[in-house]
Amino acid sequence: MADKFVILFVCTGNTCRSPMAQGALRVLLEKERPGQFEVESSGIAAAAGYPATMYAVEAARMWDADISVHSSQPLSRQMIDRADLIFGMSPEHVKEVIRQVPGAAEKTFLFKSFPEIGHEGEAVEDPIGQALDRYNETFLEIGEYLGKFLPEIVKRIDAKSDAQK
């Protein structure tokens, strides 16, 4: 079987933004390219094994995205190398990916600036410690951007699939 297209979301603690984005994109891509992708997430300051926050789990339910079994993991070189497409939720996240693996610069994007390469632009604000309403706003913001980016992401999945034929 051909290798799946791997998308990696990176945030700080891997308990809010990146798991919500991971869950949302899985829902979207299951409709578009079932079985052709993997979506992962990690954090630049994450400890291993923590669940997504209660409010992140609740917010993701808006799209029937189940992130209740999420387990946080620190960003690693192996994850960066394995990914075909990497989204940092803030400029700092993009810089850390590229610091760890300079060759990953061409596949690493600031989430809200995709498909522009680089780390300049606006971050997805971290809702950690805030009310459920803030998590819902963050999830909807992530979903809005994913909706805009979906055709480009699907195009990249198809290009990898075609190259493997």
Q: What residues are labeled active site?
A: 11, 17, 126
Residue 71's nearest CA partner among 124, 18, 35 is 18
Integer Cα distance of 160 and 165 in angstroms: 9
Length of the chain: 165
Residue 140 φ/ψ, nearest 5 degrees: -65, -35
Tokens of 96: 């850390």
Contact 68, 52 (CB under 8 A): yes
As given in the structure block, the two tokens for residue 76 are 């690693």
Neighbours of 123 (CB within 10 A): 19
Would you state the structure tokens that stand for residue 156, as one six-digit string? 């990249």
Give the start-end residues of each E strand in 34-112. 37-43, 85-88, 108-110
